[in-house]
Amino acid sequence: MSWIYEELNTEIKKLFDNKDGYLIPNFFSKKQFHKWSEILFVWMNPAGYPKTEENIKGFYVINGVIPENEINQIIESHEDFLDYKKYFWVFENNFWEWKYKKWNIIDLFVYRWTNQKDIELEIKKDNSIFFEQYSKIFIPLLEELNPKVVVFVNASASKFVKKMWYWNENQEIDFGNGYWKIPNKDSNWKRLPEKIIGKPVIFSWMLPWQRWLDVWTRELLKYSIEKIISER
Q: Which among 53-67, 81-95, 145-159, 172-186 has the top mean pLDDT?
A: 145-159
Q: Convert the pLDDT of each residue in 81-92 to its tens digit.
A: 445 555 566 666
Q: How far apart are CA 53 and CA 225, in angstroms?
A: 41
pLDDT of residue 118: 78
State the Cα–Cα distance between residues 43 and 20, nearest whole angstrom.
Answer: 25
Q: Give the C-alpha separation, 207 to 214, whole Å.
A: 9
Mean pLDDT, rounded, for 24-29: 86
Is residue 205 very low, low, confident or very high in pLDDT (cuts 50, 70, 90)? confident
User: pTM of the full predicted structure?
Assistant: 0.85
pLDDT of residue 55: 47
DSSP class per residue in 110-170: ----S-HHHHHHHHHTT-HHHHHHIIIIIHHHHHHH--SEEEEE-HHHHHHHHHHH--STT
Q: Which residue has the higher pLDDT, 170 or 44?
A: 44
pLDDT class of 200 with cuts at 50, 70, 90: very high
Q: Is the pLDDT of residue 59 over 80?
A: no
Average pLDDT over residues 173-191: 80
Residue 98 confidence class, pLDDT cut points 50, 70, 90: low
Domains in the chain: ranges and CATH: 33-48+83-230 (3.40.470)
Q: Give mean pLDDT, residues 75-103.
A: 60
Alpha-carbon gap, residue 221 to 231, rounded angstroms = 16
Q: Is the pLDDT of residue 20 over 90?
A: no
The answer, yes or no, to whether residue 1 has pLDDT greater than 50, is no
Inform me whether the pLDDT recorded for 54 exceeds 60.
no
Average pLDDT over residues 68-88: 67
